[in-house]
Structures are given as structure tokens and as C-alpha cells.
Amino acid sequence: MKRILTYVKYIGLIGLIAFLFAFTSTRNEKRKIEGVEIEFIEEQNPYINELTVNKLLIQNQVGVTNVGKEILVLNNVEKGLDAHKMIEDSDVYLTVSGQLKARIKQRTPIARVNAVVPFYVDVTGNTMPLSDNYSAHVPLVSNVSEREVSEVFPLLRKIQEDEFLKKHVVSVYQNNIGNYLLGLRVYDFEVVFGKIESLNSKVKNFKAFYQKALKDKSLGKYKKVSLQFRNQVVCTIK
């Protein structure tokens, strides 16, 4: 008899827990979204702002603060955010208190292409539109079409990753025979990079030339510096 009573108590306890869980879940599902918090990660420049993200979170012309949890599909919200051309990735979730949180990672531009409709090239090699909120301080690329971005991207990525190049190079231009020319921030001589090949070797040679010429105080006398030829730097005097 005592054993049967123990089983009855055990079953009753399980039933009570299940009831409380179902009650809490139902109540939680019917709760309205209490507010929205947007966080931009990695301290990026503001190419997209909170107002734009809030607009993206609006569904059927109704703000998410008026939508019950039971009809809010977070995956769809994330897909809507990720489809924006300024956003690389988003993470949307609900807190226990009913607050909707969106963590936004923006795309990172590394160059601006001067086309009929200008655009950025991002760190992954894809194109992205210019921002109304912020203008990126990146090299200006000229005479390059959108279909040629994949060709010039290794050079742009090299400039972005190398602190020396990032500090000195402000422009990239493709001439009519397909060679790439670099414009510098301080000195007015033209750097003929040539084809997009042997990047590491060309950059190494240019750094060695620059440091020696800087030491000799001769950087101001050059008109053109060519890196096209294997293992050498060819200079033209003004």
C-alpha cells in the first residue's frame, strides 16, 4: 500500500510539473514583444543605422513591438536582415522578459569603385552599395568594371591587410593595356604595379625601394616606379 501511494505521489508530481510548464509556455507565447534592442558588433563604422534596422524589423506594416511571440518567426526576421546589402550577418533572439534583440555585423568595404553608379568592394570580394550614413576611407579604384572586381580583388585585399600599403596607397587605376597603377598619399610618383601576379614579391621589392629612397631623401625626384619586372624596381626620374 505504501509503495502504491509513493507511485501515486510521483505521478501527481510529474503531472503538476507538466501543467505548470504548459501554463507558463502558453502565457509566454501570448506575451507581446516588450521592446527592441539593436547591437552593432565589432565596432564598425555606421554604414547602416538603428533606424534602418528597425524598419527592416517591421512586418506587414506592424512594428515587432505589437506582434505576439507566437506569430514572430525569428528565422524569417534574420533572413530579412541578412538580405540587406549592408549586413553581413545577423542574430535575432528573444529574452525571457520579452525583449527582441538583434546583433548586427555589417559588411566591411576595402575599396570604392568609381563607376557610373559607384560601389564598394567588401572584404569578401563582393560588391556593396555606398552608404548614406558614412563614407569609407578606402582606396579609390578607377577604370574597373563590376565584372573585373574579381581580378583586382587580390590586390585590394593585399592593400587592406598590409599596414604599409594601407597607409600609403590611396588609389588604384587600370590603364588601357590592363596594367594596374597605384597612387600614393604623400608622393606624386606613379607606381606601376602591372598585372595582378607575384603580389608578395612586388610588395616586398617596393617596400625595400621605399625605405632606401626615404633614407637617401630621394623619393621626391621620381616620376614613375615600376614593379613589373621580376625581382627589380625600375625608376624614371622627373
Per-residue model confidence as pLDDT tens digits over 29-85: 455 666 788 888 876 778 888 888 887 876 534 456 666 555 567 788 888 888 888
Per-residue model confidence as pLDDT tens digits over 208-234: 999 999 999 999 899 999 999 888 899
d(CA 201, CA 19): 71
- The pLDDT score that the predictor gives to residue 167 is 95
Amino acid occupying residue 43: E
Mean of all residue pLDDT scores within the chain: 82
Look at 15-24, 91-100, 125-134, 173-182 and tell me which has the smallest mean pLDDT: 15-24
- Residue 115 is given by DSSP the state S
d(CA 73, CA 33): 12
Per DSSP, what are the bridge partners of residue 75?
none
Per-residue model confidence as pLDDT tens digits over 97-153: 778 888 899 999 999 999 999 999 999 999 999 998 889 999 999 999 999 999 999
d(CA 90, CA 97): 21
Q: Which domains does the chain have, with CATH numbers?
A: 30-106 (3.10.20), 109-237 (3.40.50.11690)
